[in-house]
């Protein structure tokens, strides 16, 4: 765990995650690429390996998908970091969602509402692809893991496009391939 952050740094962390909350269309995982940029590249509060491990551990645990944000915050600054990242990622989007849901229920057939809903699909897909690339990039750069990583990405994309196989099976496949590759 990184050394404790000062109060201004914790407020900065909270504020950044509040902004990400409003950009995380499709869930918090879609903003992971910016989280990595902010926590690892810009501030150096955690390493690339800690970032990737935080997401992997939280995704493997039962519970909500957003748990990785708590693990990231914990790795950055312990309990205060966890509170800052979770409050930051949950509060703005929750309040906005409650307000917008009530409004769109009353205006669901409006042309603008339908256009907005349709436009969110490619945005969400793009954010998920950016997150996938950030998570795969360290292994793609490593010549020892490049072929297995790119192969696993290709298999995952093909299976998701052509079947209705649940993503948990692909996560399990990734765990097996990762376990074998690390030997």
Q: What pLDDT digit, counting tens, does each position of 57-80 carry?
A: 888 888 888 999 999 999 999 999
Could you tell me the pTM of the whole model? 0.62
Q: What is the pLDDT of residue 3?
A: 58
Q: What is the pLDDT of residue 10?
A: 97
97-146: pLDDT as tens digits: 899 889 988 998 899 988 988 898 888 888 878 888 888 888 889 998 88
102-113: pLDDT as tens digits: 998 899 889 998
Query: Domain range spanning residue 56?
Result: 7-119
Average confidence (pLDDT) over 72-96: 95
> H helices of the chain, where?
7-23, 32-36, 48-60, 67-106, 111-141, 146-162, 167-181
In a domain, 132, yes or no: no
- Report which of 73, 76, 81 is spatially closest to residue 10, judged by C-alpha positions: 81
From residue 24, how far is each of 6, 11, 92, 160 by CA, in Å? Answer: 26, 20, 11, 22
In a domain, 68, yes or no: yes
In a domain, 124, yes or no: no
In a domain, 106, yes or no: yes
Q: Per the structure, how many domains does the chain have?
A: 1
- Report which of 73, 62, 68, 1 is spatially closest to residue 28, judged by C-alpha positions: 68
In a domain, 51, yes or no: yes
In a domain, 50, yes or no: yes
In a domain, 101, yes or no: yes
In a domain, 136, yes or no: no
Show the tokens assigned to 29: 């995982």
Q: What is the pLDDT of residue 139?
A: 84
Eight-class DSSP state of 66: T
2-39: pLDDT as tens digits: 458 999 999 999 999 999 999 887 789 989 999 999 99
């Amino acid at each position: 765990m990184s050394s404790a952050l000062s109060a201004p740094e914790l407020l900065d962390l909270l504020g950044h995650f509040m902004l990400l909350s409003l950009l995380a269309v499709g869930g918090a995982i879609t903003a992971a690429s910016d989280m990595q940029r902010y926590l690892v590249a810009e501030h150096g509060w955690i390493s690339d390996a800690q970032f990737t491990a935080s997401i992997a551990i939280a995704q493997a645990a039962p519970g909500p998908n957003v748990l990785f944000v708590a693990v990231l915050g914990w790795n950055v600054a312990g309990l205060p970091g966890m509170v800052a990242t979770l409050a930051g990622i949950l509060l703005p989007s929750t309040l906005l969602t409650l307000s917008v849901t009530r409004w769109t229920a009353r205006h669901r057939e409006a042309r603008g509402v339908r256009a907005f809903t349709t436009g969110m699909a490619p945005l969400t897909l793009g954010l998920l692809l950016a997150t996938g690339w950030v998570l795969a990039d360290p292994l793609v750069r490593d010549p020892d893991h490049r072929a297995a990583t790119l192969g696993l990405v290709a298999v995952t994309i093909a299976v998701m496009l052509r079947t209705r196989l649940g993503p948990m099976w692909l996560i399990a496949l990734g765990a097996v391939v990762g376990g074998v590759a690390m030997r």
